[in-house]
Structure 1
C-alpha cells in the first residue's frame, strides 16, 4: 500500500510513524523481535542503508517480525521490500537481546549474498552503499557494529 503514496509524503509519514512508535514502545515496554541482515556482494563488501526515518546513520537492512513470522522469512521479506533483492545463501549468525526505545528486543542476525543490484524504494530506504570491511563508515547505527561483530572479518 505504501507504494501508492507519493515518495515525499511516504517519507514524512514514516518519520511520523517512527516517532509515534518510539513513544508507544517507551510506554508499553512490549517485547519485540526483528531481523538485521549482513548482505555482501561478490567482492565481500557489506551493504549498509540509510532510512528515511530515525537517526541519519548507516545501518544494516532489516526490520520487525510480523506476528507468527519466521525470522528467515522476515529477512527475505525485508530485503525485497527495502531493496528489491533476493537473498542467496541466507544463514542465521545468532541472536542478541537488546533494548530499543526502552523495550526488550530480540534481534535475529543473518548473513547472505545479494542476488542482484539493490534498488532503494525511495520511501523507507533513501540511500545504500557497499563498503569493504576495512572501510565501514564511523557513523553507524548504535547496534550495527555489534551485529557486524557476529560475522568473521568485522
Structure 2
C-alpha cells in the first residue's frame, strides 16, 4: 500500500511539473567507498533502474549541502570530500531541471531509507548490473574520460 501511495504522489508531482513548467534544481552524487566502488540506489517510485543518489535542492541550500543531505537521508552514508564535477540540464518528466553532479567518498555501509529508496549498494565500476539507468551510465563514462561531458542529463 505504501508503495502505491508513493507511486501515485510521484505521478502527481510529474504532472504538476509538466503543466506548470517549473524550474527545479537538483543534485546527484557519485559516492565511492575506499575500494573504489560506486553507490547506486533504486527508488521506490518511477522505473526500477539503479541511479545515483540525489534529490532536490532546498530553498537557501547550497548544491553541496543538498548533495550531502540527500545521500545521508536516502542511504545513511555520511560523505566526505564532496567535490563538484559538472552541471547538467534535463527536461525529463516534463520539468526544466538543473542538476549539479558531485563526487564524494563514503565509508559506512548504505542502508536504504525504505521510503524513497528500496535498495542502496556499492558496485565495482567494472561489473555494474544490467539495470543501471542510461543517464547514470553516461555520467560514469564521462567520469572515466570515455566520453565528453554533455550538458544534457
Shared fold, TM over 0.5: yes
Structure 1 residue matching 2:143: 3-state secondary structure: coil
| 1:98 equivalent in structure 2 | 90
Q: Shift of the alpha carbon at 1:130?
A: 1.5
**Which runs of structure 2 are paired with 1:127-146 in the superposition (5 Å)?**
127-146=119-138
Question: Aligned pair 1:34/2:26, yes or no?
Answer: yes
Structure 1 segments of 4+ aligned residues over 3 angstroms from their partners: none
| 1:23 equivalent in structure 2 | 15
Q: Shift of the alpha carbon at 1:153?
A: 6.2
Two-structure CA RMSD over aligned residues (Å): 1.6
Q: Within 2, Cα distance between the matches of 1:77 and 1:68?
A: 14
Q: Taking structure 2 as the reference length, what is the TM-score of the superposition? A: 0.87
Structure 2 residue matching 1:101: 3-state secondary structure: helix
**Which runs of structure 2 are paired with 1:1-150 in the superposition (5 Å)?**
9=2, 11-150=3-142
Q: Shift of the alpha carbon at 1:104?
A: 1.6
| 1:3 equivalent in structure 2 | none
What residue ranges of structure 1 are gaps of 5+ in the alignment?
A: 1-7
Q: Within 1, Cα distance between the matches of 2:56 and 2:138?
A: 18
Q: Within 2, Cα distance between the matches of 1:142 and 1:20?
A: 24
Q: Taking structure 1 as the reference length, what is the TM-score of the superposition? A: 0.87
Structure 2 residue matching 1:126: 3-state secondary structure: strand
Stretch moving more, 104-113 or 144-153: 144-153
Q: Shift of the alpha carbon at 1:149?
A: 3.2
CA contact 1:93–1:150 (8 Å) conserved in 2: no
Deviations 1:39-72 (CA, angstroms, capped at 9, x unpaired): 1111101011101111111100000111221000
Q: Shift of the alpha carbon at 1:146?
A: 2.5
Q: Shift of the alpha carbon at 1:80?
A: 1.3
